[in-house]
Amino acid sequence: MAWTSTSLLRVCTFLLLLILFLPREMMSSVLTVNGKTEDFTLDTQPGALESLECAVQNHIEAEELLWYRNEGRVDLQAGNKINSSSVCVSSITESDDGVSFTCRLQRNQTVSISVVLNVTFAPLLSGNDFQTVEENSDVNLVCNVKSNPQAQMMWYKEDSIINLEKDHHRVQQTSESLQLSISKVKKSDNGTYRCVATSPLKMETKDFHLVVKDKTTRVPIEPIIAACVVVFLTLCFGVIARRNKILKLFLKEKDSQKETAL
């Protein structure tokens, strides 16, 4: 008797749950992108062309779809919105790495599927590759890197690993650059530095030329200007002080000129 009542209870609970949840499940539209029902990452390469097709499942009525590229709406043609919609990403570039494409149900925008592009490419290096500095000044060699997957970075000088001297060299690395700071540059720091990036796809290098000039002895321009100003002012004051004398002299001369004219 006890067994029958428990199983009866179980059957009842099951039926109740079925009645409660089945209609809602059946009514809620589900999206797929390229046949997948959840967010996913799409591995691709520069220059490739990818097409993403979004479709509604479980729908009773016509459903409008929206596409977003990151946060921005993608303009869709009239015949490419109802029940299914495709976007084509042509000539993919390195800068498309990490960009997401999201398909949403217009009626309920919480229903969505996102695809994140994983654009893999060999290291791209850039930077100011020719610098001239005066002896004893500070300099930064900055090797900018873009790479997916991330590259291992290293500095070399004339084909050998740099023997880093404390208080002279400093190396800083971020996901976007490898930087070598040299403080109080010496003549021996002159030369070609090589930035080397190693990724599973490829090894790339870029040379940075550093030319160390002699320290030019600067002419002290400020004291010279100051001295000139002092001399000029002294002359001016002198002239003002003797103004009367000079004026009298001038008048006298004029008078004597008059006399000769008469």
Ligand X SMILES: *[C@@H]1O[C@H](CO)[C@@H](O)[C@H](O)[C@H]1NC(C)=O
Q: Does 83 engage in binding with ligand X (CB under 6 A)? A: yes
Residue 118 or 198: which CB sits closer to ligand X? Answer: 118
Query: How far does Cα 132 stand from its chain's mean position?
Result: 26
Structure tokens at 111: 């229903």
Q: Which 186-225 positions form the footprint of ligand X (CB under 6 A)?
A: 190-192, 209, 211
Interface residue with ligand X among 82, 164, 231, 246 (CB under 6 A) is 82
Residue 106 or 256: which CB sits closer to ligand X? Answer: 106
- β 30-33/100-105 pair status: unpaired
Taking residues 130 to 169 in sequence order and writing x for each that binds ligand X by CB under 6 A, - otherwise, the string is -------------------x--------------------
Length of the chain: 262
Residues near 145 by Cβ (< 8 Å), separated by ≥ 6? 123, 124, 125, 151, 153, 176, 177, 178, 195, 197
Residue matched to tokens 């809620």? 28
Minimum CB separation from ligand X for residue 89, in Å?
16
Q: Does 106 engage in binding with ligand X (CB under 6 A)? A: no
Q: Which of 195, 116, 113 is nearest to 153 (CA)?
A: 195
Interface residue with ligand X among 6, 7, 13, 28 (CB under 6 A) is 28
Q: What's the burial of 180, exposed, middle or buried (CB within 10 Å: 0-12/13-18/19+)? A: buried
- β 203-213/130-134 pair status: parallel
Span of 5-13, 14-22, 59-67, 222-230 interacting with ligand X by CB under 6 A: 59-67
Q: Does 58 engage in binding with ligand X (CB under 6 A)? A: no
Contact residues for ligand X, defined by CB under 6 A: 28, 41, 43, 59, 61-62, 82-83, 108, 110-111, 118, 120, 149, 190-192, 209, 211
